[in-house]
Amino acid sequence: MRFTSLACAVVGLLLLAAPARAADPALDLERLTVSEAAGKMAAGQLTSVQLTRAYIDRIAAVNARGPGLNAVRLVNPRALQDASLLDLERATGKVRGPLHGVPVLVKDNLDVAGLPTTAGSVALEHSVPDRDSTVVAKLRAAGAVILGKTNLSEFAYFMSTTAPSGYSSLGGQVLNPYDIDANPSGSSSGSGSAAAAGLATLTIGTETSGSIVSPSAAQGIVGLRPTIGLVSRAGILPISSTQDTAGPMTRTVADAAAELQAIAGPDPEDPVTAGAPATDYLAGLKTDALAGKRIGVISNANAQYQAAVAAVQALGATTVQITAPSSAAPYDVLTAEFKRDLNAYLGRLPASAPRKSLADIIAFNTAHADEALKFGQTLLTDSQDVDLSDPARNAAYVSARDSQRAAARAAIDTALSANALDAILTPSGSMTGIGARAGYPQIVVPAGYNPANRLPVGVAFNGGAFSEAKLLAFAYAYEQATKLRKPPSEINPAAWRCSAGAPRSCPPGKEIATGVTLDFPLETATVADLQQRLTAGTLSATQLTKAYLQRIALTNTEGPSINAVRLINPKALEEAAKADAERAAGTVRGPLHGIPVLVKDNLDVAGLPTTAGSVALENSVPDKDSPVVARLRAAGAILLGKLNLSEFANFLTSGMPSGYSSLGGQVLNPYNADITPSGSSSGSGAAAAAGLAAITIGTETSGSIVSPSAAQGIVGLRPTIGLVSRTGILPISATQDTAGPMTRTVADAAAELGAIAGKDEEDPATDAAPATVPDYLAALKPDALAGRRIGVVTSTNAQYLAAITAVQALGATTVSITAPSATAPFDILTPEFKRDLNAYLARLPQSAPMKSLKDIIDFNTAHADDALKYGQTQLTASQATDLTDPAQNAAYVAARDSQRAAARAAIDTALTANRLDAIMTPSGSLTGLGARAGYPQLVVPAGYAAGTRDPVGIAFNGGAFSEAQLLAFGYAYEQATKLRKPPSETNPSLWRCVPGNAYLVTTRACAPSRPANADVIAGTVGGTVPATLSLSLDGPATFPPFVPGVADTYTASTSANVVSTAGEATLTTSDPGHLANGAFRLVQPLQVQLTPAAFAGPVSNAKVAITFRQPIGAQEPLRTGTYARTLTFTLSTTTP
């Protein structure tokens, strides 16, 4: 046997401290492509570790912080180590392909060995597969780094009919990086958001019907739904084996082609892929791919689609007008298949997986409804009720499935063949369902942005089975010719200003953290609770202020990232210390002494900018407090900071979502991040609801206190015009503007109103205010409704009907009335805005940058990218008015006075004619009428919608200066029902990872928010191992004495010791022959058994059992003496 020397390399992972590494290269992750990353790595300008670390750091900066996209559910803890091994491969000359070293995020319904596959469900939080899905295995084989997993709509949008896209009970709500208020769309919303925002080079989505292509269109990226059978579904938590597929979601067509190249192909575990073709998808990407092609187009007026049609024509394609293919699909295949296919998936998981069936998941959700069932589980229970083991049910399902799929295929095939088409170009959203039922491909490509709101718009290329190469080529040619995609930071700078470029005017976050937490929840603390603790000396104003700062630090641009607070008063802690000193000296100014308050950012606070959310007013700093702020300070309140709002109190433009401003970004509703926070005082509502201050101040012109209060589950009071001064408040309308309390309880609103109400010489409207501010707190009694007459209106709203029953139980007589109404044909707000804003700006110091509405319009026009995502149509309309013109002014005054009088008469008549003390309505009713009348409305929490747990409010309405009575009625109702719940209870997916909540849950699946803070390198440490084959015997084997005349089989044994460094080795023996005693030989041959006789790899001191057997017959003659034989044992190899 020939021995050869052999060197063995041992790979080790060395963790180095981050500060010791060289600076990573600067990367534009929002635009980086696969080819650019690969080129940098090939040139030695970038390593996979550096790229992976850059993405981990970006995820930390924007996923649960800043914009708070919540796109990524978890980061693979081995990502950096995997990247280091791929760097080592590259260094030794091995490059697996274009994805070598490229980080990929996969949707959290694809199995990654060792990481939970949850589909966003709390029931599957600890469901950990022991092997990769085929898609993940193929990505790894192609050299990709599995960076982590993305959030999704729960069970890929097959959980409930009321849940918004991107929501899951485990992961929370995914946000659209182009517009935080807009729908992220489809179940692969997290993959779309992550790709668009540059959180990975590539992402993977899955689709049953639209869940790749829809979020791709909505989030301005490329998305490809492959033909069913091109990409394996093995190891993907399913909905439907008929329609499910996985596919690329990327920033460019070339990236989609590279990713598809890696994941496509046959898989024995998914028989549908048996016919998958082997295609080079990258090879067909040519800029002239559309030349000479026939492309079907449909009738559609969408401007971006029309431009796309013109673009493909300019690229040499002939466009053919066709009717969009269609086919009926009356049978619900998905509900029938979901239980069967999900149970099959769960059956392949290890025994440690917590749920074995859909029934298990439903039972878990039911037992943990607070966490699991914000939106219910109707689709799960519907599927559980389907029994495909019933022959008749199965036959109906199979027939419907096959006929609907055949009809869909025929419709598309006929459209293509009858018109001799190479593909069909449609607006995104067209042919989505029919293509999904057919199992045919569709690729969505960015086609521009809606000019009214800058939301992404896509177009789609559609084809027949396995036409991906052709569709990718067409999409590539269109993409390269138009180059329409822009990154989110360019389209939506308000959300990204502090995460990209040069940060400025950034909302407060972790930098204000104080580390102070209290032993009671701020989320439900009331003014009375806090005042009691302050009086008892168990709490100081300084501690309380620090605690609110800490909660703002953890929730405003961290974690839930509700973005309610625009700035913190840098002197807040000084003010708190002063309040503590006064209390210690025996001075307590009233119920607000030492209580932190946040005010809307259209109220002047001396030394702090009053911006109304406008970038034009970013540096507009008043030199004196508004009277509301001055009165709060005089009452002992601590001015904690200022709140975000709808820009110019929702008087900038039409089509802008509530809570958005060009300076502050988008406020989120803490009860449901997908729904509107409502009204312009959205930040005040969010901050009060989430416990970011004890009390807040909002303003209203028509609905902007009461509407966000109802939508965000708090108490909101719009006072009578003239009860609260408007001086020093950036205005809309002197006729309708007011400030008012937004709080968690009625008593808190009463305490706050008592502080801010009163006359002001600078505001003539307050001349009508009571000479002495009423004691609003004194009127709060649980029996305040007893003996009262309360008007009620017709409504089917369940919470309102329950409120009627509640007030009746409290002793009130309810009187059914027709809701008061009055027409208001004349728009008085538009002419007043220019006049009143210019007057406000004139009272500012000379240093204020804007002197007039025209200055603001001009600034916005000059900085349109930053200022005008939604335009400024309302500003320009107001600028076009001229109340100095006698005719215009006369028409305005007449309309103002007549409309106000009509509104007041309508309400007054309803009250007096029916002898009512107040009118109780669903929130949203009488809002506009009351605002025009200048009359008060108090909104109180009335419960939560059954299907969504979103807050519902009711409103108490009255005549002029009836606040004390309305507060008393609201208090009696509130105390009897106690319906308000904190956001952490009704929406735990958003709040579970915030410490100090009023409602605690067991699940702790927190979104990743930590930077890498590590360097990883794969290195070699070597040692030479000589080729070795060593065999030794432990001793001779001896049979027991042979007994003549007796038939028997005798056994002897010994063992051998094997040392081998070979790739394989075999142990053999020479011919055993016959035992002999001199000239005498046994009749039957010796038998030898070696266990084991072969080794598949290196072994050290491996034992081999050697067993000898010797049969002897009863008639066999035996000679006295010893029978023996010498054997030779050989250890050999062919791979030393």
One-character DSSP codes across 366-386: HHTHHHH-SS--HHHHHHHT-
Q: Are residues 445 and 391 in the same domain?
A: no
Q: What's the domain count of the chain?
A: 5
Q: Are residues 587 and 602 in the same domain?
A: yes
Q: Do residues 895 and 829 touch, judged by C-beta distance below 8 A?
A: no
Question: What DSSP element (H or E) covers 703?
Answer: none
Q: Residues in the chain with pLDDT < 70?
A: 1-22, 501, 1003
CA 553 vs CA 310, 439, 550, 646, 684: distances in Å:
50, 48, 5, 22, 17
- In one letter, which amino acid is 138? K
3-state DSSP assignment of residue 829: helix
Lateral strand order in the sheet of 72-75:
72-75, 145-150, 103-107, 202-207, 245-250, 222-225, 442-449, 456-462, 423-427, 294-297, 318-321
* Rounded CA separation 664/752 (Å): 26
Residue 299 lies in a domain: yes
The answer for 948, left when phi > 0, alpha when psi is -120 to 50, beta otherwise, is alpha
Q: Which two tokens stand for residue 591?
A: 């119920």
Q: How many CB atoms lie within 10 A of CB 685?
A: 35
One-character DSSP codes across 577-612: HHHHHHHHTT---STTTT-EEEEETTB-BTTB---T
**Helix intervals (H) in 26-96:** 34-42, 48-62, 79-91
Angle at Cα 1034 formed by Cα 1029 and Cα 1039, nearest 5°?
A: 130
Q: Are residues 530 and 663 in the same domain?
A: yes
| Cis amide prior to 1092 (ω within 30 degrees) | yes
- Active-site annotation holds for 978: no
Residue owning tokens 């950034």:
506
CA 176 vs CA 191, 221, 865, 987: distances in Å:
11, 12, 19, 19
What CATH number is given to the structural domain containing 1113?
2.60.40
| Cα-Cα-Cα-Cα dihedral sign, residues 419, 422, 426, 429 | positive
Angle at Cα 698 formed by Cα 708 and Cα 529, nearest 5°?
A: 90
3-state DSSP assignment of residue 192: helix
Q: Do residues 866 and 504 touch, judged by C-beta distance below 8 A?
A: no
In our burial notation (b when 16+ CB lie closer than 10 A, e otherwise), range 1048-1063 reads: eeeeeeebbebbbbbe
* Rounded CA separation 138/837 (Å): 62
3-state DSSP assignment of residue 694: coil
* Rounded CA separation 305/460 (Å): 9
pLDDT computed for residue 22 by the predictor: 61
Residue 385 lies in a domain: yes
Question: What DSSP element (H or E) covers 361?
Answer: helix 358-367
Q: How many CB atoms lie within 10 A of CB 21?
A: 15
Q: Are residues 972 and 1057 in the same domain?
A: no
What CATH number is given to the structural domain containing 143?
3.90.1300.10
* Rounded CA separation 592/637 (Å): 5
pLDDT computed for residue 21 by the predictor: 54
Q: 480: which residues sit within 8 A by CB, 6+ positions away?
A: 287
Q: Which two tokens stand for residue 197?
A: 């925002």
Given 107, 149, 759, 981, which residue is catalytic?
A: 107
Residue 1127 lies in a domain: yes
Q: Which of 698, 668, 691 has its CA nearest to residue 564?
A: 668
Q: Are residues 795 and 893 in the same domain?
A: no
Q: Are residues 578 and 623 in the same domain?
A: yes
pLDDT in tens, 1067-1124: 999 999 999 999 999 999 999 999 999 999 999 999 999 999 999 999 999 999 999 9
Residue owning tokens 């000059």:
862
Residue 643 lies in a domain: yes
Q: Are residues 871 and 978 in the same domain?
A: no
Among candidate residues 491, 525, 548, the one where a domain is terminated:
491
Residue 1017 lies in a domain: no
3-state helix, strand, coil in the chain (%, to 5): 35, 20, 45
* Rounded CA separation 39/766 (Å): 70
Q: Do residues 605 and 709 touch, judged by C-beta distance below 8 A?
A: no
Question: What DSSP element (H or E) covers 510?
Answer: none
Q: Do residues 762 and 951 touch, judged by C-beta distance below 8 A?
A: no
Q: Do residues 452 and 655 touch, judged by C-beta distance below 8 A?
A: yes
Q: Across-strand partners of 104?
A: 146, 202
Q: Do residues 642 and 618 touch, judged by C-beta distance below 8 A?
A: no
Residue owning tokens 């007026």:
301
Among candidate residues 435, 466, 491, the one where a domain is terminated:
491
| Cα-Cα-Cα-Cα dihedral sign, residues 209, 213, 216, 220 | negative
Q: Are residues 687 and 630 in the same domain?
A: yes
Given 165, 211, 327, 984, which residue is catalytic?
A: 211
Q: 418: which residues sit within 8 A by CB, 6+ positions away?
A: none
Q: Are residues 885 and 814 in the same domain?
A: no
pTM for this model (two decimals):
0.90
* Rounded CA separation 926/911 (Å): 13
Q: Do residues 828 and 896 touch, judged by C-beta distance below 8 A?
A: yes
Residue 1070 lies in a domain: yes
CA 1106 vs CA 1029, 1064, 1075: distances in Å:
18, 20, 17
pLDDT in tens, 384-420: 999 999 999 999 999 999 999 999 999 999 999 999 9
Q: 39: which residues sit within 8 A by CB, 6+ positions away?
A: none
Q: Across-strand partners of 145?
A: 103
Instruction: Give the CA diameter of the chain.
Output: 145
| Cα-Cα-Cα-Cα dihedral sign, residues 108, 110, 115, 117 | positive
Among candidate residues 402, 421, 440, the one where a domain is terminated:
402
Q: Are residues 54 and 143 in the same domain?
A: yes
Residue owning tokens 């959180």:
199
| Cα-Cα-Cα-Cα dihedral sign, residues 796, 799, 802, 806 | negative
* Rounded CA separation 274/229 (Å): 7
One-character DSSP codes across 1023-1038: EEEE--EEEEE-S---
Beta strand spans in 632-765 (E): 638-643, 660-661, 665-666, 695-700, 715-718, 738-743
- Active-site annotation holds for 187: yes
Q: Do residues 662 and 859 touch, judged by C-beta distance below 8 A?
A: no
Residue 810 lies in a domain: yes
- Active-site annotation holds for 188: no
Phi and psi torsions of 775, nearest 5°: -85, 90
Phi and psi torsions of 270, nearest 5°: -130, 95
* Rounded CA separation 646/652 (Å): 9
Q: Are residues 208 and 294 in the same domain?
A: yes
Q: Are residues 354 and 295 in the same domain?
A: no
Counting every residue written for the chain, the total comes to: 1136
Given 187, 678, 681, 962, which residue is catalytic?
A: 187
Beta strand spans in 108-262 (E): 145-150, 167-168, 172-173, 202-207, 222-225, 245-250
| Domain region containing 884 | 829-899
Phi and psi torsions of 1024, nearest 5°: -90, 130
Q: Which of 998, 1000, 1001, 999 has its CA nearest to residue 522?
A: 998
The answer for 502, left when phi > 0, alpha when psi is -120 to 50, beta otherwise, is beta
Residue 942 lies in a domain: yes
pLDDT computed for residue 13 by the predictor: 28
Question: What DSSP element (H or E) covers 471?
Answer: helix 468-482
